[in-house]
Amino acid sequence: MDFEAYPFLKKYLDAFKDDHPLLIQFDLNPDFMNYVEKLLAEIDNMPNLKMKIEEMRDSSNWESTFSELEFARKLKELNPEFVRTRNGYPTPDIRANILGEDVFFEVKLLVENDAATCASHEIWKIESDLIVKIDYGNCEMFDNEKACRLIDFIRNKINAKEIGSYVFEGTNVEIANKKSIKTKRTELIISCTFEISMESIRKKVFKDFDDKLNQFRSCSPIFWVIDCQKWKCSTDCLASIANELFLQAEAKCLNGIIAIVHGNTHLFVNYFAKQQINSESIRKLNELLQN
């Protein structure tokens, strides 16, 4: 892809292949390309940024890493840096300095669900000149077996070059020709229209907390950033789940949860944490998160 008019995209993404999902998104949405150029300009020269960009070359995980870049921008006044892994030992994603104290952040992007994500990755691998739009509907009802059936259904439609709109077991699928044919990779657009139930979100958050416990214990003080941009859920729902989690003995290593919901950022402080942060630091952090 030609990045001559975009100096920061050229600096960091020039080695990406044209069939990388991020670059495909640029083709689909030029405004997003401008957004990423501005984002990289704002965090340019942040320590270990190139390491994070290298992680983004993994097409199956680029959105999670991109979420870290977006959150790091919120902290730029605190001179943040991306934390290098230590010989495979789990570490947080970001370190920043708040009023003289190092504070750590672990960022988690909630995806549609594991089965939906698997289906998306498999469909994206299919070579074609087509674009597939999928509305998963109620993600709670989308399991691994249905994912396999959906992959087979879409693969057969693509191989037969059948253009049109379909409904497969409650999932809406639209297959159309690409506007431009720069790669032989199937382009994919995902949406999820129904609000996820509080119980499903609770199970996901508690499971992810258990999975990330070693990261939370590796450094202190530490906040867990939960990016909910792909999930339709309310702030009250996340607040209730956070407060329930803070009552667990294992959560004393966690200073709080930062939830990104509908584009807004909310800080929930864990007053049961073993190592507390002073009120001025909390106030400073909250100010930055609201900007």
pTM of the predicted model, to two decimals? 0.84
- Residue 142: which pLDDT band, with cuts at 50, 70 and 90? low
- What was the pLDDT predicted at 260? 93
Helix boundaries (H) for the chain:
7-13, 21-28, 30-43, 49-56, 62-74, 114-125, 144-159, 198-211, 213-218, 235-246, 279-290
Q: What does the alpha-carbon distance between residue 187 and residue 170 come to, in Å, rounded to a whole number?
A: 21
pLDDT in tens, 219-232: 999 999 999 877 77
Name beta bridge partners: 81. Answer: 95
pLDDT in tens, 270-281: 999 999 999 999
- What was the pLDDT predicted at 125? 80
The topology under which CATH files domain 75-111+198-290 is Trna Endonuclease; Chain: A, domain 1 (3.40.1350)
80 vs 231, higher pLDDT: 80
Orientation of helix 21-28 relative to helix 62-74, angle to 10°: 70
End-to-end CA distance of the chain: 33
Residue 137 has pLDDT above 70, yes or no: no
Nearest to 33 by CA among 53, 10, 67: 10
Tokens of 225: 């950033």
How many of the other CB atoms lie within 10 Å of CB of 207? Answer: 10
- What was the pLDDT predicted at 228? 87
pLDDT in tens, 151-186: 999 999 999 999 999 998 888 899 998 776 666 778
Contact between residue 130 and residue 143 where contact means Cβ atoms under 8 Å apart = no
Domains of the chain, by residue range, sit at 75-111+198-290, 114-191
The mean predicted confidence, pLDDT, of the chain is 88
